A and B are shown apart, each in its own frame.
Chain A
Amino acid sequence: MANNIRIAAPKTVRKGEVIELKTLIQHAMESGYRVDKRGEPIPRKILQKFECFYDDTLIFEAEFHRGVAANPFLTFYTRAENSGILKFRYTEETGEIFEDSVEITVK
C-alpha cells in the first residue's frame, strides 16, 4: 500500500480568502543513524521536497532535512483565487514521488 497522505483544506471558500492547508504523510524519514534488530545500519531515506500546486502553479515549496520529524506534518496558507485543484507532492531522495490532491470551490 502506498504511503498514506492526509490533507486538510476547506471545500468551499470565498474569493480572496486566505486558507489554511495541512498535510501529514506516513514516512519514517530514516536518518541513516539507526540500526535494525540484527544490528545492521538502516540506510538513510528521507523525503527531500514538498511542493504544493494550485492548478499548475507552484505556490509553496519546502525542503526537508534529517531534522524534520518522522511522518512529516506541515501547515501553510494560500489565498484562494479560483476554484481548482490543490496538488500535494512529496519527493523522496530516491526520486520516488508520493502525490495526492484535493478540490476547492471558490464562491
Chain B
Amino acid sequence: MKFKLMVTALILMSCESASYTTSYDNAPTQPTPLKSGTEFLTPETRALQSDSFANPAFLWVDRGETLFFQTPISGQACSNCHTESVRPLKDSATQFPKFNSKTQTLFNLEAQINYCRVTYQQEPQLAYETEDLLALTAYTASRSKGRPLTVAVTQETESNFKNGRDYFFTRRGQMNFSCTQCHDRHWGQKLRGDTISQGHGNGFPAYRLEWESLGSLHRRLSDCDRGVRAEPLPLGSQTYIDLEFYLAVRATGLAVETPAIRR
C-alpha cells in the first residue's frame, strides 16, 4: 500500500501586516486569559487525562517511582537524598528550569536528574528521550501536580531568558513562522485538524496520542520546529532549555499537569 504525503501549506500568516513589537524587558508576552493545553482537548481526552488508572502516562510515572527507590551500585538511591523532609521534591517542577549554582548553568529537570545521577550516584548519564529519563522526569514532575509554576528571571538567568525569548520570536523554516505567531496570536484557531493552544509546557512530559508514547517537552518543541519545516535543535540542547525557561516564565501561575494527555 502506497500513500502520497499530503503537503499542507499555511498561508495566512505570511500576509500579516505589522511586525510584532516587544518591550525588551524581562516580561514575556503572556496570553490572556492563560489557558492550559488541556482546555483545548475534547471531553473524552480530558477524561483520559484525569483518569488516574487509564491515563497511559502513569505507566511511565510508575516506572519512574520504581527507579527513584532503586539502589544503584554506588549505594545511593534518589530516595536516600530526597525524602519528605530532606530536599523534598514536591515543589521542584514548579521551579524548573532552574539555575544550578554548582555548575553555573540553567538546568531543566532532565539535566538536574542526570546531574544527580552522575555526581551523586556515579551512574552514567541517561540519553534524552530514553524510557528511564522520561520515567524519572515524569515521576518527579507529577509530584508537583496541581501547584502553580513560579519560575522568575534573575540576574543569573537573564541571558537564558533573552535567548529563549529570541527563539520564540524568530521566524524560521520554509514556512517562515515564529512561535509567537501561532501561540500568542492564533491560539484557539484550527490548524490541520488540530486546535492551536497557547503553547505551554506545564503538562510535560506528556503522553501524545500521536506519539503513542510519553515524550518530553523538547520532543514537542522539535515537532513544532519540524511543523514549519525548520531543522529542529537536538533534544536537551541549551537553546531548547532556554526556550523552556522562557515558556515557564510565560506560563507563571498555570498549574503543573504532568502527566498530561495531548493529541
Contact = CB atoms under 8 A, between A and B. Distances in A.
Q: Do chains A and B touch in the complex (CB under 8 A)?
A: yes
Contact of A69 (B59, B60, B212): B212
B59 A1 contact: no
Interface string A10-36: 000000000000101110110000000
B59 A71 contact: yes
Contact of B212 (A22, A25, A28): A28
Interface string B199-235: 0000000000000110000000000000000000000
For chain B, the bracket of interface size reads 10 to 19
Interface string A54-94: 00000000000000011101000000000000000000000
Interface residues of A, number: 14
Contact of A4 (B54, B59, B212): B59
B62 interface: yes
Nearest to B211: A70
B66 interface: yes
B212 A6 contact: no
A4 B62 contact: yes
A71 B63 contact: no
A8 interface: yes
A24 B132 CA distance: 19
A1 B53 contact: no
Given A22-B53, A73-B56, A1 B213 contact: no
Nearest to A28: B212
Contact of A1 (B58, B66, B212): B66
B63 A24 contact: no
Contacts of B54: 22, 24, 73
A22 B66 CA distance: 21
Contacts of A71: 56, 59, 212-213
Interface in B31-54: 53-54
A74 to B, nearest CB: 10
Contacts of A69: 212
B213 A24 contact: no
A75 B54 CA distance: 10
Contacts of A4: 59, 62-63
A6 B59 CA distance: 8
Contacts of A6: 53, 58-59, 62
A1 B66 CA distance: 10
A24 B66 contact: no
A72 B261 CA distance: 15
B198 to A, nearest CB: 28
Nearest to B53: A8
8 contacts: A1-B131, A4-B63, A6-B58, A6-B59, A22-B53, A22-B54, A24-B58, A69-B212
**Can you list the 10 inter-chain pairs with the closest CB atoms, starting with the nearest?**
A70-B212, A71-B56, A26-B59, A4-B59, A8-B53, A73-B54, A4-B62, A4-B63, A22-B53, A71-B59
Interface of B: 53-54, 56, 58-60, 62-63, 66-67, 131-132, 212-213
Interface of A: 1, 4, 6, 8, 22, 24-26, 28-29, 69-71, 73
